[in-house]
Structure 1
């Protein structure tokens, strides 16, 4: 898929600044598209600041995406909310700032999308020339419209259209409200289009015109620009932001085929696989020439004599050793890294990019670790091509892989660990696992948290982002 996502924002016709921002890009692993529209509220300066804080937080938290995605999105929005609230406490002029947003993550390979939503930005799905509103407006007028009590035309002209009841930055305790963030997931089929937009579009342009533009000819960039132009031609009362994602995969077509006729020969004979093979016709016995036993007796006598001689020799040696004191010197074990481990550590240390592909054609399997593999990069994506297995050397008791305290996003994809007491030692929340297998590891992941000395600490550890993959991967 190429050229299948696009984002654009415009100040509109009546505003002096743009409090909207957006994200339209792939995550660092290349497997997901992030589509997000953020609408800032709270004045000339505050809205822009809140929107930028949320955008930076989303890009940081979703740099690599793995595991159960919906909780990951909720956690990301929770962190963004806290950062906006903390910034408000630092600056008096920002005390009214907040933002609303709609965040979608599209799984390109598996034709799925996931979303999280707060406020009155919107998410639409276009499928088979039908435009479906996925998200719900978190406002009183939006509730009336979504429940059918108010028509779209009446809602667009309602004087309280822009009064929202949910936003990021108002309440630091949204983690305790499971219904604060609206979430969901849905198939994203070939031919589908996702539209994420701010209310600057939907306050000006009705659903029928939006659908007409999205189903018209042209690229998604053309369609995004046409949506902006449509809002501005209606008055452009607010900032207008649009993000489009298109599944441009070719639809799969299947044709019915007649089963091929079998060419195997069918007989009524029952074959016993344990039966003795059939012998050719001939005499039932074969005459065998008898040999004399004299040679056998001679050989046995010689072997017995040799065994007795060896026993007497060993007895004499043991006697001599008991008469001579032997000084035993303890030799400390020498830890020797094998060539494969040295080469892998050197590859990690000298890597210039942020992605490392490990191929089982390049490394002998399994990779025996007699010391810890150290990862010191800020961000790193390690992906296996084939079966990559890290196996503990029988004399080694330390962790297989250790992440530096400065690491922020380290992804391990499709690797296996075998026999470690601690497979991975990490700090803070830097580690992301994707299709990782732990075989006979006492502690698969050991996490330590680093806090400043002599400071009061509050908060909780966020769990539940790891899951057992339903599609198992067999590692040999």
Structure 2
């Protein structure tokens, strides 16, 4: 199985970028992770980088390619964020979303987990096959039939999360795929922050994919779509994406 990987992380209209992303691989496993931090006093930047580094280090020490193991890794990352908040009063409000993709290159299947509203998308043969559901107020309204996807993008409380790393006790919500997603070498996968998907609906993400000749071109197209859509919002959020294209050997 051949894999091409591309990254894109932009400051948008903000003074600095609080998103972070990274990846790690061995001969058998590949782990990709992306995080979107918040919290004031530089806390968002700290939280997102901490989440990414802790996930990658933990995965490298013991590849978490099992639903329970992936959930445990994300829970341990949450404890790490909470510990750093306790150590530094200036960071007491920091938190971060996170989304993680794990691929078993030998068995050719994927698992993913997330907390918050950073998303994972899986396209197969150009069509959307999987997408995570946000831990957010607007997602709960969508689930209840009170809001549609278009309305969610302009809802005044669209950034209100029900869970993120840095959450204590039973309020923490982590979602992990429970069954392996088979990879046939016809997939395009993407992790992204809300600064991207808020401005680019799923059908436009698919259209950009259809027009692209390689993953970096896909992300470049998405970057331009964000900039055009957000042109009237000069303070729009950071936006980050990590894309993988899978093909036959």
Same fold, TM exceeding 0.5? Answer: yes
- Aligned to 2:73, the other structure's residue is in SS state helix
CA distance 1:147–1:188, change in 2 (3 Å): farther
How do residues 68-83 of structure 1 correspond to structure 2 at under 5 angstroms? 69-83=66-80
Counterpart in the other structure of 1:209: 204
Structure 1: runs of 5+ lacking an equivalent = 251-476
Aligned positions of 1:266-281 closer than 5 A: none
The answer as to whether partners of 2:2 and 2:246 remain within 8 angstroms in 1 is no
C-alpha distance after superposition, 1:93-124 (max 9, x if no partner):
11110001111111222221011110001111
| In structure 1, distance between residues paired with 2:90 and 2:104 | 40
The worse-fitting range, judged by mean Cα deviation, of 240-249 and 66-75 is 66-75
Q: 1:63 aligns with which of 60, 65, 68?
A: 60
Query: SS in structure 2 opposite 1:215?
Result: helix
Which whole-Å CA distance do the structure 2 matches of 1:218 and 1:44 have between them? 41
| Aligned twin of 2:173 | 180
> Aligned with 1:61: secondary structure?
helix
> Structure 2 residue aligned with 1:117, among 96, 114, 136?
114
Matched, 1:200 2:199: no
Unaligned runs of 5+ in 2: none
Task: Detail structure 1 runs of 4+ shifted over 6 Å in the superposition.
Answer: none
Q: How much does 1:149 deviate?
A: 3.5
Is the 8 Å Cα contact of residues 32 and 65 (structure 1) preserved in structure 2?
no
| Partner residue, 1:40 | 37
Higher relative contact order (CA 8 A, sep 6+): 2
Structure 2 SS opposite 1:241: strand
Q: Per-residue deviation at 1:188?
A: 2.2
Write out aligned runs for 1:396-407 (5 A): none
How big is each residue's C-alpha offset from its partner over 1:299-334, in whole Å with a ceiling of 9 and x where there is no partner? xxxxxxxxxxxxxxxxxxxxxxxxxxxxxxxxxxxx
- Corresponding residue of 1:239: 238
TM-score (ref. length: structure 1): 0.49
Deviation at 1:180, TM superposition (A): 2.5
Cα–Cα, structure 1 residues 146 and 189, in superposed 2: closer, same or farther, change >3 Å?
Answer: farther
Q: Is the contact made by 1:7 and 1:244 (CA closer than 8 Å) also made in structure 2?
A: yes
Instruction: Give 1 or 2 for the bigger CA radius of gyration.
Output: 1
Alignment CA distance shift 1:94-1:67 (3 Å): closer
The answer to whether the 8 A contact 2:121-2:132 is kept is yes
Q: Retained in 2: the 8 A contact 1:136–1:146?
A: no
Q: How many residues align?
A: 243
**1:67, 1:93 → 2: CA distance?**
32
Rounded to whole Å, the distance in 2 between the matches of 1:139 and 1:164 is: 4
Report whether the alignment pairs 1:221 with 2:216: yes
Q: 1:193 to 1:64 in 2, by over 3 A?
A: farther
RMSD: 2.0
Contact persistence 2:34–2:100 (CA under 8 A): yes
Greater per-residue helix proportion: 2
1:234 positional shift = 1.3
